[in-house]
Structure 1
Amino acid sequence: MNSNRLPVLTIVVPCYNEEEVLMITARELTSILKEMISETLISPESSILFVDDGSMDKTWELITALHKTNHHANGIKLAKNAGHQNALLAGMDTAKAYSDCIITIDADLQDDVQAIRQFIHKYRAGHDVVYGIRRERKNDTAFKRHTAQWFYRVMEKMGVELIYNHADYRLLSKRALEELGRYRERNFFMRGVVPLLGFSSAEVYYDRKERAAGESKYPLRKMLAFAFDGITSFSIKPIRFLTISGFLFLVFSAIAGIFALVQKFNGYTVPGWTSIILSIWFIGGLQLMGIGLVGEYVGKVFKEVKHRPRYGIDSGLIRNTTQPKKPSATPLRTRLRSSRKLS
């Protein structure tokens, strides 16, 4: 960043059925944006980019209304629901054409928007990546708190580098965004990829709040799927574990077989129908689990080799005093539809 020029910040907000909270979110983010502009921390060209991830409610209509009345509000609408991570990528790909840095934050206002000021101070101090980290999980249920801790421990054991208690509240510089574009996998686990970038990073701690309105878009089913995707996207240790287990069972079976032969030759015959059936069921279940796990990895390879785009943009409402460069064949393989509007 040119030290003589104020950085252009874009706050990227993925939205899926957020009509209940969107106007509150826009008001809070606009307020902090104006405060930082008046404090000469960021450029007056800084903005908020709302990404409608195929919402089925009035989210896009509200974004359109905001764009008309709020000078700092921009928006893009994805052609269909692409998922939270892909919605983040769509916003980041769009914003990096005209931004010096971006901050990603969820629309539910659980992440403290006042921490954004600290993000910018860290960025101006020379850090390319700034992580927003929760101080504690007192607002979570006991179940969610313990499963989250279990998730981080499992990911660490699998060799995946994660920032503890960090979700998707972070700042990335333009340089970090360009480097992120070199990671082209279809199964994109951003929380694991960002620490791999290797640039100077800093941490900002904040207290997480209750959701301002609406319902969580991450029920237990999605949380488990997200965790499983993260593990299988970054580690082959589950397959290695099955290989070792298979080898141990082979050794155990050989010992048991030798023991059975010795007993037979010595004239001992012990009825063992129950133990045989149980062992068959157990080993059969383990084999089926192993086949399923290998299938998950093969499925991921299948998705990767097709090189399909992660998302498609149906339309966009971008207001900029400095006209952004038209996104090239981006390394993240975006697909901009011809219906995109620039105002």
Structure 2
Amino acid sequence: MFNEEEVLPLLVQRLRPILDGMNVPYEVVAVDDGSKDLTAVLLQRYHREWPNLRVLRLRANAGHQAAISAGLASALGDYVVTIDADLQDPPEIIPQMLAAAKDDGVDVVYGVRNDRSTDTWFKRASAQAFYKLIGLMSQTSAHADAGDYRLMSRATVDAINSLPEHNRVLRFIVPALNFPSDTVEYKREERAAGDSKYPLMKMVKLSLDSLTGFSTAPLRLATFAGFGGAVLAVLLVLYTLISRSQGHTVAGWTSTVAIVAGVGAVQLVCVGILGEYIGRMYGHMQGRPTYFIAYDSMTAQGADHGPTDTPLPASPHPETIQATDEAPDAATHAARVTSPQPSRLRG
């Protein structure tokens, strides 16, 4: 959640009765993605009233996919459901997801939108076109109407946490694992309160990360465009030589400028595609964490932690987890401090 003070009371009002009525042990990991409003204050209040609510606050806004990754790295459950706080994806189908996972023995249950009438026509059309494009380029079987609302088994979550990728797009990573899956359909609702946190530029960035993260087809496209430009240049040279040998005048500067501009545009596109891939490699080589945890109500330490490859140990006692951060006993510490250093012989 990011700046969701308006919708947060509605989320708790709808989510808690559903989970309490399932008669299974559960935790709710609320990832505050660096909110600037009263989201953090409300979460602390609900945390005192709702023992199963765990608050995970990031140091700064890291982005939607990074926030989900932070939650997956911290969640302890045998099954994990990822859901946005805006209530466009109804939490009422979580019991149905869990039942489908257990009855069918699958690792992933996708929430699929069978009615997107609340979305604009541009969003629906662009989403359909994008999923078709990414499917052709990467052979990824991601469902066009499935977003980030899904249930995953512990094996799936552990597999995702073990991946070294930065700028991961989970809606394509999860299908790429090819674990047994099922779907549950639902109607996508309008946002319960507040404004959308996914403007056009963020959607464009997500699309670029998806294309460059799951397919090398753009690189091949750049290569084919380069070969096409070379063939066109050779044909133009041949045409010029033949025209001159026959005494014909070559066409005017307008056609020349158009050709040069076209070839230059192809070159710039190719360079841009290469730059996207080089940028991803550069970011991966730097190894910078995509998020920093400022506060975790389970440990209540408030120390910075980067993303980990494996989730926290599945212990039912928070104090056991907290004990892993304690300092060594005084005797061990004293032994380290007073340990003599090797002496050096002087000649």
The answer to whether the superposition gives a TM-score over 0.5 is yes
Compared with structure 1, are the counterparts of its residues 231 and 333 closer, same or farther at alpha carbon in structure 2 (3 Å cutoff)?
farther
Consecutive unaligned residues in structure 1, runs of 5 or more:
1-14, 320-326, 335-340
Q: What amino acid is aligned across from residue 52 of structure 2 in structure 1? A: H
Task: Give the corresponding residue for 1:156.
Answer: 135
What pairs up with 1:14-29 in 2 under 5 angstroms? 15-29=1-15
Q: 2:280 aligned with 1:300, yes or no?
A: yes
Instruction: Note the C-alpha offset of 1:329.
Output: 8.4
CA distance in 2, matches of 1:162, 1:132: 12
Instruction: Note the C-alpha offset of 1:86.
Output: 0.8
SS in 2 for 1:158: helix
CA distance in 1, matches of 2:251, 2:230: 23
SS in 2 for 1:114: helix
Task: Give the corresponding residue for 1:121.
Answer: 99
Is the 8 Å Cα contact of residues 243 and 249 (structure 2) preserved in structure 1? yes
Q: 2:196 aligned with 1:210, yes or no?
A: no
Q: 2:172 aligned with 1:192, yes or no?
A: yes
Q: 2:235 aligned with 1:255, yes or no?
A: yes
CA distance in 2, matches of 1:333, 1:73: 17
CA distance in 2, matches of 1:162, 1:271: 50
Divergent runs of 4+, >6 A: none
The structure with more helix, counted as a fraction of residues: 2
CA distance in 2, matches of 1:226, 1:130: 22
CA distance in 2, matches of 1:199, 1:276: 54
Task: Give the corresponding residue for 2:88.
Answer: 110
CA distance in 2, matches of 1:298, 1:236: 12
Task: Give the corresponding residue for 1:76.
Answer: 56
CA distance in 1, matches of 2:306, 2:223: 44
SS in 1 for 2:118: coil
Q: 2:21 aligned with 1:35, yes or no?
A: yes
Instruction: Note the C-alpha offset of 1:244.
Output: 0.8
Question: How big is each residue's C-alpha offset from its partner over 1:21-61, in whole Å with a ceiling of 9 and x where there is no partner?
Answer: 01110111101011112xxxx22xx1211100001111111
CA distance in 2, matches of 1:243, 1:133: 37
CA distance in 1, matches of 2:289, 2:281: 15
Q: What amino acid is aligned across from residue 195 of structure 1 in structure 2? A: P
Task: Tell me the TM-score normalized by structure 2.
Answer: 0.84
Q: What amino acid is aligned across from residue 209 of structure 1 in structure 2? A: E
Aligned-residue sequence identity (percent) comes to 38
SS in 1 for 2:193: coil
Q: 2:120 aligned with 1:134, yes or no?
A: no
Task: Give the corresponding residue for 1:11.
Answer: none
Is the 8 Å Cα contact of residues 30 and 72 (structure 1) preserved in structure 2? no
CA distance in 2, matches of 1:186, 1:329: 11
CA root-mean-square deviation: 2.1
Is the 8 Å Cα contact of residues 155 and 161 (structure 1) preserved in structure 2? no
Task: Give the corresponding residue for 2:316.
Answer: none
CA distance in 2, matches of 1:242, 1:177: 35
Task: Tell me the TM-score normalized by structure 1.
Answer: 0.85
Task: Give the corresponding residue for 1:143.
Answer: 122
CA distance in 1, matches of 2:289, 2:174: 20
CA distance in 2, matches of 1:53, 1:172: 22
CA distance in 2, matches of 1:269, 1:333: 73
CA distance in 2, matches of 1:51, 1:239: 36
SS in 1 for 2:115: coil
Task: Give the corresponding residue for 2:202.
Answer: 222
Instruction: Note the C-alpha offset of 1:198.
Output: 2.7
Is the 8 Å Cα contact of residues 222 and 269 (structure 2) preserved in structure 1? no
Compared with structure 1, are the counterparts of its residues 47 and 236 closer, same or farther at alpha carbon in structure 2 (3 Å cutoff)?
same
CA distance in 1, matches of 2:113, 2:119: 12
CA distance in 2, matches of 1:230, 1:271: 44
Is the 8 Å Cα contact of residues 79 and 313 (structure 1) preserved in structure 2? yes
Question: How big is each residue's C-alpha offset from its partner over 1:67-93, in whole Å with a ceiling of 9 and x where there is no partner?
Answer: 011122211110111111111111111
SS in 1 for 2:22: helix
Aligned residues: 308
SS in 2 for 1:318: coil
Q: What amino acid is aligned across from residue 108 of structure 1 in structure 2? A: D
Q: What amino acid is aligned across from residue 331 of structure 1 in structure 2? A: D
CA distance in 2, matches of 1:329, 1:239: 30
Q: What amino acid is aligned across from residue 31 of structure 1 in structure 2? A: P
